[in-house]
Amino acid sequence: MKKLLISFVTLSLALLFGGCGDEVTNINGPMDWQGPTVEWQSAMDAEVRGTVGLDVAVLDSSAILRVKLYVDGSEDQTLTAPPYRFELVTDSLLDGVHLCEARAWDQYENLGISPVLRVNVVNSIAQGPRVLWVPDSLATIQAAINAAQDFDTIRVRDGTYYETLNTFGKGIWIESEHGPLRCEINAAGVNNCVYIPGGRELSAVRGFSMVGGVNLAYLGDGSRVNLYNNVFFADSAEGLLITGYSSGRIVNNLFSGSDGGVQVGYHWGEFFNNILQHVRNVAFWNAALYGNPLQYGYDAFWMNGSDYNDRFEPGPGDFHADPLIDLQEGRLLPESPCIDAGNPDILDSDGSRSDIGPFGGPWAY
């Protein structure tokens, strides 16, 4: 009886899976059964305020469809393309510890989940202005910006920083320790070295060389920023500086190289004591459709496709001549026409009339 039962089961399986001599057909499934690996790239500081950037690394053998940020278990934001950088607005959160989690789905809808990131929000705690040193206290300039609040100073040691910066509209002062020839922000081919969106307080960027971006600096609508003693340099950039509906002082900088130089939208502020050279097209472009409120003059132009477009006339004290600037030694050559040729209302640190370029003016190194 046992042998008969076994024979019947064997015959039934044969008919089910291989009857009539046919081969068994394989059932096709997705090539990838594994969920993405999701890791936080941002190490949170002990306390955070305002808007902070949260960077996520997502690895998978298949294409990534979407990455979502969850805060305290609730969906907050969705990204569909790298880089996966969430901007967490902590002003909408109560003070205290909040739990952040990133989830990623690949093209086969496999799910990967990050470890939990603890974010300690302290927006309501009063705190005076601070000086944040990079990389002493915080490893990157962007990390210092994330940790900063209005009226803080970020001071950066010598070196090259491969970053793209977003100030999130914070009213902070960002400066290098020893000037633009010893401290460089390199965007490594990404759009902007520095992006400054609108904000309530005045900010400043002083003493950096900026290279490697499609556009080196972008002042968004509503931004309020002073740019002092910077070197904007690129051989292949589309533009060195672009302003929108913005305000602030752009004084004692060098703009060199690129296809386009300085494109000025409606900018309520000043553009004095700058050098614009080796721009292949227009060095100083008025992008406003009507009268531009910008005050400008005492700028040096050299070897540009054209110095101005048709909506900018030469300003008072502007001239076209070789600035004779030595970027190795960080000085103007003795015969430079830029010496003592700046705006007479702006003085060098020794009390004399300011020089034109990044080595002149009251904020020079």
Q: pLDDT (tens digit, 9 = 90+) per residue, 179-200?
A: 999 999 999 888 889 999 999 8
Q: How confident is the model over 30-52, as a mean pLDDT?
A: 84
Give me 70's structure tokens: 């969850």
Q: pLDDT tier at 328 (50, 70, 90 boundaries)?
A: very high
**Residue numbers of the domain that contains 172:** 131-332
pLDDT of 46 above 80 = no
Q: Are residues 73 and 111 in the same domain?
A: yes
Give me 1's structure tokens: 């009886």
Q: Are residues 218 and 87 in the same domain?
A: no
- Taking the complete model, does pTM exceed 0.75, yes or no? no
Residues making up the chain, counted from first to last: 365
Summarize pLDDT for 3-16 with one digit per residue, the tens.
333 343 343 434 44
Q: Are residues 189 and 260 in the same domain?
A: yes
Is 359 contained in some domain?
A: no
CATH number of the domain that residue 285 is part of: 2.160.20.10
Q: Tokens 């009390």 label which residue?
A: 351
Is 158 contained in some domain?
A: yes
CATH number of the domain that residue 81 is part of: 2.60.40.10
Is 7 contained in some domain?
A: no
Is 24 contained in some domain?
A: no
Of the residues 121, 156, 191, which one is the last residue of a structural domain?
Answer: 121
Is 354 contained in some domain?
A: no
Is 255 contained in some domain?
A: yes
Q: pLDDT tier at 236 (50, 70, 90 boundaries)?
A: low
Q: Are residues 165 and 308 in the same domain?
A: yes
Q: Are residues 177 and 76 in the same domain?
A: no
Q: Are residues 214 and 107 in the same domain?
A: no
Q: Are residues 250 and 304 in the same domain?
A: yes
Adjacency order of strands within the sheet including 300-302 = 159-162, 183-186, 209-211, 231-234, 254-257, 275-277, 300-302, 319-320
Q: How confident is the model over 109-137, as a mean pLDDT?
A: 88
3-state helix, strand, coil split of the chain in percent (to 5) is 10, 40, 50
Q: Which of 255, 307, 317, 257 is nearest to 286 (CA)?
A: 307
Q: Are residues 154 and 287 in the same domain?
A: yes
Q: Are residues 177 and 260 in the same domain?
A: yes
Is 167 contained in some domain?
A: yes
User: Longest Cα pair distance anywhere in the chain, in angstroms?
Assistant: 116
- Asked if 101 contacts 116 with a C-beta cutoff of 8 angstroms, the reply is yes
Q: What percent of the chain has pLDDT over 90?
A: 75
Of the residues 121, 154, 174, which one is the last residue of a structural domain?
Answer: 121
Alpha helices, H only, the chain: 2-18, 141-147
Query: What's the total number of domains in the chain?
Result: 2
Is 19 contained in some domain?
A: no
